Amino acid sequence: MIAGAQTLWWLALPVLLLPIWWHRQKRQRVKSEPLATARFLPAAPPQTARIWRWEDLVLLALRCLLLAALIAWLAATAMPWRGDTVFVAPALATGTGRPAHAAWIEQQVAAAGLGAAPRMPLPENALQWLQAHEHEWRPAARILVLADSIPMPAQLPSLAHAADIRLLPAASATAATARAEYRIAVSAPPERMAAWRAAFAAFSAAGAGRYLIEDKPVAATKLIVWDSPAAPPAGWHAPLWWLPASAPFAAFGVKEPAGTPLTINGLSLQIADSPRGRLWRSSAMPPQTADTARALYETWQSLARPAQPYPMPAMQLAPRRSSPLAMPGTPPAAWLAYVLLALFALERLMTHVRRR
């Protein structure tokens, strides 16, 4: 944060001349006491011998560092340096419709009159991040946010700056979102493999993702279908496993669950956690009918996939505070505070050593 556009704090560096001047003044002789026998000696101009001990040099360096750290800490916590800013979502710069998105971005920037404003990538949790770092912007700064989608927070933040949030039109936003790919490892007999391929083909057609069936799991594998009563290889791991009714949980080092199976969307399901991942066992695997496949897919999406946040609409957030919130403990200010304490302790210690 300090190494960015925050350069005004360098204007306070001449303050470092104060300890240097003070140390030089302390070395000057301000009063002389002639001896009684000095009148018998020839007159000579007084000469001052400057002898610097190592304690003086270390103390001078510590005091200069202490002032520099104090200036940096004050700049990081209390000196806003950012002006008008345009935030651009990374998805708009890397999506498939990048030329069209670039034209839309330039159009919105020109309409807002922020053509000369610097641009920054939009961070995750944009509104919360903006509220936490709002102290970095000058009071009259304007903020423009351009994105394809932003999750709607439970409560809009109270900002001290006006924030104009503009979203890509719905048709363009849909095209900008790349279709996710999910790697699935399937191990099944040949007579059942066709049913699994048909099921995942239907899942790809129904959802926003594309499912790639592989023979062995990799690091990015999200699901393993183990359609076999034998134990799987020891090195196979995945967040979720699908097992047929004939597969024993003991092969995964898990005891058989007690009680009746769960019934979700009309699907009878037994769930257990193992060192290799979560296990789902059902007599409906592989699905033989469209209704069974739909029930399995909906259950999978509701239990194993995180809920998608509700997108917020485009809006203009008016200032609701006269000043930014008190700065939270951001990392730069935190470590600078520790540096200040350490330098102050060392400076006091060296001052005591020098006086001995």
Walk along the chain (356 residues) in steps of 10 and give the mean pLDDT of each run: 47 72 60 65 62 72 84 70 91 72 92 94 91 85 93 88 90 54 90 91 81 91 89 90 89 82 87 91 90 89 76 91 60 71 87 72
249 alpha carbon, distance to own chain's centre: 39
- Classify residue 151 by its DSSP letter: B
pLDDT at 123: 93
pLDDT at 3: 39
pLDDT at 107: 94
Q: Are 347 and 59 in contact (CB under 8 A)?
A: yes
- Any alpha helices (H) in 95-167, and if so which ranges? 98-112, 126-132
Q: Are 151 and 132 in contact (CB under 8 A)?
A: no
* Nearest-angstrom CA–CA distance, 209 and 315: 30
204 contacts: CB under 8 Å, gap ≥ 6: 210, 211
pLDDT at 95: 57
C-beta contacts of 325-333 below 8 A and 24+ residues apart:
325/131, 325/132, 325/134, 325/135, 325/158, 325/160, 327/77, 327/135, 328/132, 330/1, 330/76, 330/132, 330/133, 332/1, 332/2, 332/76, 333/73, 333/76, 333/77
Q: Are 92 and 168 in contact (CB under 8 A)?
A: yes
* Nearest-angstrom CA–CA distance, 61 and 250: 68
Q: Are 261 and 280 in contact (CB under 8 A)?
A: no
3-state helix, strand, coil in the chain (%, to 5): 40, 20, 40
Task: Read off φ and ψ for residue 169, nearest 5 degrees.
Answer: -55, 155
pLDDT at 4: 41
Structure-token pair, residue 49 = 């011998």
pTM of the model: 0.53
Beta bridge partners of 257: none
Structure-token pair, residue 13 = 């560096």
